[in-house]
């Protein structure tokens, strides 16, 4: 399914459907296609928005988690979205966490899946070796429980990116920024209902990271998906969507009267 990518000023994004905004944030090697299963399902109940984060387009000084959060803030202000259900994978979850902490008034709920912000083991530990296709393939496979999910198209795209020196430098800058920017106890300030969906076989943000988020965020619920790595919305879209659908539906149910 192809979706129209809208362009307004410096912002490029997909917007499909009507209803409360469901805003999806991709990770460091993410793209709009990562959320194909969610756009198709939730466009029937929500206004689904996927902004293209400028991972490789910011100047080097602002190529940080904070720089991406400021970009997201400008985008949301520009479109004047309110009552947002914010969902982020990996680095996108980290950006979402920072946004909720700084602008809670616009957020109705938060969903994190394989989010950085407390701990992650990704590209930040080693420099991506330019010209080493096998290294890039193994790094891409690490994202998934099933290595076959790391298609040649995905690997080729990443390989092409890291072979451009400035792009490789920016990827490392973002990965290191994510590791440095540990939100720790700050996340306990989040008041919004929060859904945590984690792959039981996530090698980048392992299951204990989901458990730690659950312990720190007061109004949170945690779900694990078996035989699933760092991108549950891609690897197990049906299970992921079922959990997310129940969570979003519950938000709209009237509170029980004691």
pLDDT tens for 18-29 read 999 999 999 887
Q: What is the CATH number of domain 6-118+182-251?
A: 3.40.50.1820
Q: In angstroms, rounded to a whole number, what is the distance separating the alpha carbons of residues 20 and 104?
A: 16
Rounded to 10 deg, the angle between the 91-102 and 65-79 helix axes is: 60
Q: 62-71, 98-107, 195-204: which has the minimum mean pLDDT?
A: 62-71
pTM of the model: 0.90
Q: Residue ranges per domain, the chain? A: 6-118+182-251
Cα separation values, 205 from 184, 215, 247, Å? 15, 16, 22
Q: Which of 90, 89, 110 is nearest to 99 (CA)?
A: 110
Q: DSSP secondary-structure letter at 257?
A: P
pLDDT at residue 60, rounded to an integer: 81
């Amino acid at each position: 399914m192809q979706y129209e990518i809208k362009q307004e000023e410096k912002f490029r994004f997909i917007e499909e459907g009507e209803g409360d905004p469901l805003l999806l944030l991709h990770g460091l090697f993410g793209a709009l296609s990562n959320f194909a299963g969610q756009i198709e399902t939730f466009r029937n109940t929500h206004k689904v928005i996927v902004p293209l984060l400028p991972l490789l387009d910011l100047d080097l000084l602002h190529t940080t988690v904070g720089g991406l959060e400021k970009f997201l803030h400008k985008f949301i202000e520009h479109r004047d979205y309110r009552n947002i259900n914010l969902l982020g994978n990996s680095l996108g979850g980290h950006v979402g966490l920072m946004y909720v902490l700084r602008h809670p008034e616009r957020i109705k709920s938060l969903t994190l899946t394989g989010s950085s912000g407390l701990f992650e083991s990704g590209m930040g530990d080693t420099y991506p070796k330019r010209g080493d296709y096998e290294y890039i393939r193994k790094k891409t496979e690490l994202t998934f429980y099933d290595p076959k999910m790391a298609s040649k198209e995905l690997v080729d795209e990443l390989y092409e990116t890291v072979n451009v020196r400035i792009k490789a430098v920016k990827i490392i800058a973002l990965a290191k920024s994510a590791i440095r920017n540990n939100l720790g106890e700050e996340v306990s300030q989040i008041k919004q209902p929060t859904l945590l969906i984690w792959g039981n076989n996530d090698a980048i943000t392992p299951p204990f990271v989901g458990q730690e988020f659950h312990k720190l965020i007061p109004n949170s619920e945690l779900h694990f998906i078996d035989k699933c790595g760092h991108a549950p919305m891609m690897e197990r879209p049906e299970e992921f969507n079922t959990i997310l659908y129940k969570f979003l539906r519950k938000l709209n149910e009237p509170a029980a009267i004691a």
